[in-house]
Amino acid sequence: MSAVAARRAVIKGTGSALPRTRVSNADLAERVDTTDEWIVERTGIRFRHIAEDDETTSTLAIEAAQKAMQAAGFSSADIDLIIVATATPDQTFPATATIVQDALGCNGCVAFDVAAVCSGFLYALSVADSMIRVGSAQNALVIGAETFSRILDWEDRGTCVLFGDGAGAVVLAAEHGERGILATRLHADGAHNQLLYVDGGAGTTGTVGKLRMKGREVFRHAVVNLSSVLKEVLEEAGESIEKVDWVVPHQANARILDATAKKLNLAPEKVIKTVDMHANTSAASVPLALDTAVRDGRIKPGDLLVLEAMGGGFTWGASVIRY
């Protein structure tokens, strides 16, 4: 009797969305004490998209989700779970996922937000994967969407040049076979809350607050944590770094991507880099990079992917996926 293949969450479609307005480093230098040279040299960032008044986390999430559903060939009736990873929800409540749900016409299904900042998409993906594997969901929309421009201190050149707005989405479906999410590892360490945080909140100041970061220390932790979680998740999946076709990392800083690749002996050309075009879009960055590389033909069915991210909390995680 042949063994039945495991039930897995397979990526059936990807989508992304960016605000209309693209802002270059030179544009920023007109209102912030910075230069294109400094930003490119220290971060690799050249452009970011910034939301206009009529563009919100939910409008970007809806557009990304619609494109992912179209790519998957799924209609609203097929979706039974929606998770939005965001640190910049439209409102404190209800969950942005319910706004997305209503716009898509998926009313009635499970819908909630996950808050793990830049690692939010990995956390959301892991929850959806678990629900699919145990059979409490069949087809899920997992979205990372942010409007970080609204929580930036535009007087702080050490942070405001680093971030952008956007959204990315995947449609996951249960399948029995070799494809799908093979392993995920998540971590958090609240001892580092004060290195990257927002200085306000609904339950404290009653305001949204502004982003604060000790960049150099975050950088150091990012390289160590990301390389260790990548090794951990590959071991759990029974795969090796040599077999990986593409690493799709959180896009915070090109130097973090290079340093992590070097530490892992990973060929730099296997790392998907979109930080130059989008800057750091927090929870949106991994699915935005994924969708970019799927649509430009680099990522193909059957490829072995590693998705990874690290952010405020700290939180960090990685996922191995047979695409």
Active-site positions read 118, 250, 280
CB of 263 to ligand UT7, least distance (A): 15
**Tokens 């699915």 appear where?**
287
| Rounded (10°) angle between helices 120-134 and 285-295 | 80
- Tokens 């050149």 identify what position? 157
How many residues touch ligand UT7 (CB under 6 A)? 20
Interface pick for ligand UT7 out of 21, 24, 34, 130 (rule CB under 6 A) = 34
Nearer to ligand UT7, 151 or 161 (CB): 161
- Does the protein bind ligand UT7 through residue 38 (CB under 6 A)? yes
Which structure tokens are listed for 70?
Answer: 């179209």
Q: How far apart are CA 96 and CA 203, in angstroms?
A: 18
| Burial of residue 47, with CB atoms counted within 10 A of its CB: 0-12 exposed, 13-18 middle, 19 or more buried | middle
Would you give the binding string for ligand UT7 spanning residues 108-137, x where CB under 6 A is met? Answer: ----------x-------------------
Cβ-based nearer residue to ligand UT7, 106 or 143: 143
Interface with ligand UT7 includes 238 (CB under 6 A)?
no
Question: Do residues 226 and 249 make contact, with C-beta atoms less than 8 angstroms apart?
Answer: yes
Q: Which stretch binds ligand UT7 (CB under 6 A): 48-56, 153-161, 172-180, 204-212?
A: 153-161
Stretch in the footprint of ligand UT7 (CB under 6 A) among 14-22, 187-195, 218-226, 265-273: 218-226
Q: Which of 173, 122, 141 is nearest to 68 (CA)?
A: 141
Q: Which of helix, strand or coil describes residue 119?
A: helix
Please give the radius of gyration of the chain, using alpha carbons only, rounded to the nearest integer: 18
Residue 141 interacts with ligand UT7 (CB under 6 A): yes or no: no
Q: Which stretch binds ligand UT7 (CB under 6 A): 95-103, 107-115, 217-225, 268-276?
A: 217-225
Q: How far is CA 66 from the centre of its chain?
A: 17
With tokens 């693209």, the residue in question is 22
- CB-nearer residue toward ligand UT7: 30 or 216: 216
288 binds ligand UT7 (CB under 6 A): no
CB of 193 to ligand UT7, least distance (A): 13
- Chain positions contacting ligand UT7, by CB under 6 A: 34, 38, 42-43, 118, 157-158, 161-162, 196, 215-216, 218-219, 222, 252-253, 256, 280, 311
